[in-house]
Amino acid sequence: MPARSPSPANDTAAHGTTFEEPTRPATREAGRGPAPRAAVTALLALAALPVLFTLVEVFRAPPMHYGDYWTILSKVIDDTGALAPAGLFELYNQHPIVVTGLLFYVDAVLFGGSNHLVGVVNVVASSAMVAALWTMLPRRLSPPLRAALVATFSLLLFSPAILEFYAMSMSGAHWLAGFAPAVVALAAAHRGRTVAAVLLALLGSLGHGAAFPVWLAIALVAWLRRDAAWRIWTPLVLLGGVVVAFLTMPGGSSVPPADAPAVDVYLMLISATMGQIFAIQSVDLATLAGLAALLGVAVSVTAVVRARLAPPPDPSGDGLTSAASGRGPAESAGWVGLALHATLVAAMVGSSRVSLGVDIGQSARYAIIPALTWIALVTLFVLLRPRVPVARAVAVTTALGVVAFVAGSTQGQKVRNELRAVPLLAVAAQVGAHETLAGLKMNPDDVPAFAATGAYPFHDGFTLGCGGPELGDRVDLASVRELAHPDDDTETAGYLETGRVEGDAEISGWALVEGARADCVLVVDTSGTVIGGGMTGLNRPDLVDNLPTSEPGAGFQAVAAAGLLEGRVLVARDGALYEVVAGAEADVDGAGAGGTPGG
């Protein structure tokens, strides 16, 4: 007797329609045994690797928050560091901050303002999105194909292109406060759980404007599923309430208004945003990838909508036709909703950020938009092309994820480079270097309120990273060795490129100790008291070309307390201190970097 094929999951249970799968050869349901089990294990391991890599990046990042964390925190606390609830209901750059403001406040007051902790929260939020997307996959798909899709979801959502969300956690916390509830809401709507979907959409709408399109997507999902009318109209009515609330909320924007540009500029910005995960260094290539995504969305959505508009299947007709036509729109509903949601967010970026130029579409914070778009597209490809063999479908889906992950490396390195400035910000906040603070996106007037919350660097965990001298300690200057001038052609050398060492002013240069970078940098006054510090490891490839070293990260930058008129710069390596000096005054005032290699 031939084996009977299993019945598909009842994805249409909410409207009371069930279709029996007829007996037939089913390529994607065949094949169970050692080989498929090994493939599933390997693919699930592949899905776990990007999460683990991202966690490593989270803990490699500086402990201090950066950028918008401090701006948003300043809106939700008063001068004493206590919560100011009214600030939660102000817009920031046209986005709600209710959820994010509360998260940042709790993080500052209870957890010392930990960039690492919020980064882990963001990893959990993205993992929840992967899990929600997994629940939307129909059971009829073979285990290897389901595992391949989950691996692709993970590779896209934890691509280095989205590293800003995790290593620079303030960015991810704000965006994921909108996106994560929205994606889980779509998973709920996909199963006919409209009330849960609406509540999650409301939560997302309090977190970030990226959640706003999900109301339309939930309504579309309900329509594709042939749900009751109230399930379609409820999210649309509530969207109207959300829009009214949004328009009445106070708050400004740092984005300059734009003159009405040509339609092609809007389209290019939207396309570049939707394709950037595959082409960070080229707006043109990103635009082409984005246009391919838009075309894929249009074709896929059209196919599913046409199936939904077709006459309902005749139960007395051909069993295969009845099952396929009834199952198609319902099992694709959530994925169509996801594609619509991501596309509308890209359109929001295009309309609200066009004054910043088309290059803004390459910003790391927008990489989640193409990630979710391509997740929807690759899944719709699998669902709408059921006759593609399992091995080929697995190869296509996995290859897409791997390519996106590798292509995101350039964006990830940009984020790592930007984070190198955070230790300098921490020192400037501690020593009151107001000009430096302003240049690093922290309002000096808000520092007392930040300090009152106890957020890093305003607690005992702050360190200059030298494993010894900290701010206020005194160094025995007589024991400090002076680094050689670069003209001496030695592996232990350094150069202070900014000349005289003054407080709250740029102090930068490079230092090598036996051909290796310094562990940290200190600024001391003439008595040896430590009154400043900064960051090391800055990229200086010119040194490799001109000195006997293979170390490209020998650059440093430091800052000292305002009011210092004459200081000295020390670097540490393996516990020993060395002084970095400038050349002759004529060298410093001349062109280039005072005789430094590659200056």
456 contacts 113 by C-beta, under 8 angstroms:
yes
Pairing between β-strand 507-513 and β-strand 555-560 as defined by DSSP bridges: antiparallel
120 burial type by CB count under 10 A (0-12 exposed, 13-18 middle, 19+ buried): middle
Cite the DSSP H helix spans in 191-314.
194-207, 214-224, 229-248, 263-275, 283-309
- Ramachandran class of 595: left when φ > 0, alpha when ψ lies in -120 to 50, beta otherwise: left
Domain's final residue, options 347, 382, 417: 417
Angle at 248 between CA 242 and CA 252, to 5 degrees: 110
Q: For residues 242-256, b (16+ Cβ closer than 10 Å) or e, as one string?
A: beeeeeeeeeeeeee
Structure tokens given for 213:
């399109």
Environment class of residue 444 by beta-carbon count within 10 Å: exposed (0-12), middle (13-18) or buried (19+)? middle
Give the whole-angstrom CA distance, residue 421 versus residue 508: 12
**Per DSSP, what are the bridge partners of residue 509?**
496, 556
Give the per-residue pLDDT at 569.
95
Same domain, 56 and 172: yes
Tell me the two tokens of residue 229. Answer: 């009318």
Whether 187 maps to a domain, the answer reads yes
- Is-contact 376 338, C-beta < 8 A? yes
196 assigned to some structural domain: yes
Domain that holds residue 483: 463-589
What is the pLDDT tens value at each position of the chain, 599 positions in all? 444 434 334 444 334 333 333 334 444 444 455 668 899 999 999 999 999 999 999 999 999 999 899 999 999 999 999 999 999 999 998 899 999 999 999 999 999 999 999 999 999 999 999 999 999 999 999 999 999 999 999 999 999 999 999 999 999 999 999 999 999 999 999 999 999 999 999 999 999 999 999 999 999 999 999 999 999 999 999 999 999 998 888 876 666 666 656 677 778 788 888 888 876 667 778 888 888 989 999 999 999 999 999 876 665 554 434 334 445 799 999 999 999 999 999 988 877 766 566 666 667 888 999 999 999 999 999 999 888 999 999 999 999 999 999 988 888 888 998 898 899 999 999 999 999 999 888 999 999 999 999 999 999 999 998 888 999 999 999 999 999 877 766 788 899 998 889 999 999 999 999 888 999 999 999 999 999 999 998 988 888 887 778 888 899 999 999 989 889 999 999 889 999 988 654 343 333 334 444 44
pLDDT reported for residue 18: 36
**Domain-ending residue, one of 386, 417, 448:** 417
Q: Are 423 and 62 in contact (CB under 8 A)?
A: yes
CA pair distance 186, 331, nearest whole angstrom: 12
Q: Domain boundary residue among 393, 417, 441?
A: 417
pLDDT at 543: 83
**For residue 520, what is the DSSP state?**
E
Residue 491 forms part of a structural domain = yes
Q: CA-CA distance, 341 to 347, in Å (whole number)? A: 10
Q: Are residues 407 and 471 in the same domain?
A: no
Residues 6+ apart with CB under 8 A from 501: 507, 523, 560, 564, 566, 567, 568, 569
- Tell me whether residue 564 is in a domain: yes
pLDDT value, residue 271 = 83
Rounded to two decimals, the pTM is 0.87
Secondary structure (H, E, C), 379-416:
HHHHHHCCCCCHHHHHHHHHHHHHHHHHHCHHHHHHHH
Q: Are residues 413 and 493 both part of a single domain?
A: no
399 with 544, same domain: the answer is: no
Same domain, 331 and 215: yes
Residue 175 inside a domain? The answer is: yes
Please indicate, yes or no, whether residues 411 and 468 belong to a single structural domain of this protein.
no
435, 559 Cβ separation under 8 angstroms: no
Residues 296, 387: one domain? yes
Determine the straight-line distance between the first and last CA of the chain, rounded to whole angstroms.
82
Amino acid 299: pLDDT: 93
Angle between the 263-275 and 283-309 helix axes, to the nearest 10 degrees? 90
Domain shared by 392 and 495, yes or no: no
Spatial contact of 330 and 225, defined as CB atoms under 8 Å apart: yes
**Does residue 535 share a domain with residue 396?**
no
- List the one residue out of 238, 188, 177 whose CA is nearest residue 210: 177
Do residues 411 and 530 share a domain?
no
Tokens for 182, please give them.
């929205």
Q: What HEC string does 123-161 produce?
A: HHHHHHHHHHHHHCCCCCCCHHHHHHHHHHHHHHHCCHH
User: What pLDDT is stored for residue 201 in this prediction?
Assistant: 97
Residue 107, in any domain of the structure: no
The count of domains in the chain is 2
Same domain, 505 and 575: yes
Q: Enumerate residues 6+ apart whose C-beta is below 8 A from 35.
A: none
Does some domain include residue 289? yes
Beta bridge partners of residue 523, listed in sequence order: 532, 569
Tell me which residue has tokens 């600024």: 523
Beta bridge partners of 570: 522, 579
Q: State whether 409 and 471 are in the same domain.
A: no
- Which three-class secondary structure state does DSSP give residue 564? coil
Looking at residue 9, what is its pLDDT? 40
At residue 262, the pLDDT reads 61
Please check whether residue 184 lies inside any domain of the structure. yes
